[in-house]
Amino acid sequence: MRASKLPVHDVVTGLRARSVNYDPDEIRGSAWHFDHHRFVLGTDPPGRPQEDSVWWHAYKEVAAYAFTPAGLLRAHYRREDPLLGKDLLLVGRFALARFVMGVRITETGFDEDGVRYSWGWSYETLQGHIERGRVDYRVVKDLESGVVTLEVNSYNQVNPRAHPFIRLGWFFFGRRAQHRFYTSVGENLRRLAQQPQVTDTRTGDEDVVEVPRDAGSGGEPFWAIAVLDGARDPDPAHTGP
């Protein structure tokens, strides 16, 4: 995805032309990684979640995707788009490199079985992403104990179409970076769920949100992203160089 020199709004809008970059039938074998992370966020009174509780604040933060570590990942999306089907433009940071990646929220929903009450959403990677796969975030409350957790389930692989340099870097650093990211996500959401704040900020484009809130849109010009995703997925909608 060649995002440099384009307004954030245009890049986010352009994600609509991209499709998910893998087929579920491909998810097998040692080339895919499967992860499950569980982070305790706090404890509420037993029973279904109430407003202004740990669960409630965690739910609001996850809905806004405002809990990621700004030093590792920023996200941009259209404020008014419904959550289901929303496209997110992710800007990943690793050392001096920047990676621009598109994902789409393809599943959302509540679930209650008499033991647990949960809500969450899942996104899948789009054409041009350096990875292929899906991530599921779910805020869960144990109805008897009141313990609130974040559960993160994912499967992924480095995109086979990515530039060889990208694949080599992923071989040495990718899994370590993933685990660092999810550990930071759990720590951030624990803090935010117990000390709630405003859930989003604005970029220069009024209808586009930039998260997390402490990312700041002025610290790094969008056009200064130096390393693009390097993936070579077919993309008939792309007309740039």
> Taking the domains of the chain in order of start, what are their residue ranges?
8-224
In DSSP terms, 90 is beta-bridged to 75, 101
Q: What backbone phi and psi angles, to 5 degrees, belong to 167? A: -65, -40
Q: 216: left (phi > 0), else alpha (psi -120 to 50), else beta?
A: left
Helix, strand and coil in the chain, % to nearest 5: 25, 35, 40
Mean pLDDT within 106-124: 97
Alpha helices in the chain (DSSP H): 8-14, 54-64, 164-169, 175-194
195 or 118: which leads in pLDDT: 118
CATH number belonging to the domain at 8-224, selected among 2.60.40.1930, 3.30.530.20, 1.10.287.130, 2.40.110.10: 3.30.530.20
Report the SS3 class of residue 201: strand
Over residues 126-159, the pLDDT tens digits come to 998 989 999 999 999 999 999 999 999 999 998 8
In whole angstroms, what is the distance from residue 27 CA to residue 164 CA? Answer: 21
CA dist list (Å): 17 to 57, 60, 108: 33, 28, 21
Mean pLDDT lowest among 65-69, 98-102, 105-109, 129-133:
98-102
Over residues 70-99, the pLDDT tens digits come to 888 999 999 899 999 999 999 987 666 678
38 or 174: which leads in pLDDT: 38
In whole angstroms, what is the distance from residue 19 CA to residue 16 CA? Answer: 8
177 or 83: which leads in pLDDT: 83
> Which DSSP category does 39 fall into?
E
pTM recorded for the entire structure: 0.83
171 or 47: which leads in pLDDT: 47
Mean pLDDT lowest among 58-62, 156-160, 217-221:
217-221
Q: Where does the pLDDT of residue 13 fall: very low under 50, low under 70, confident under 90, or very high at 90 and above?
A: very high
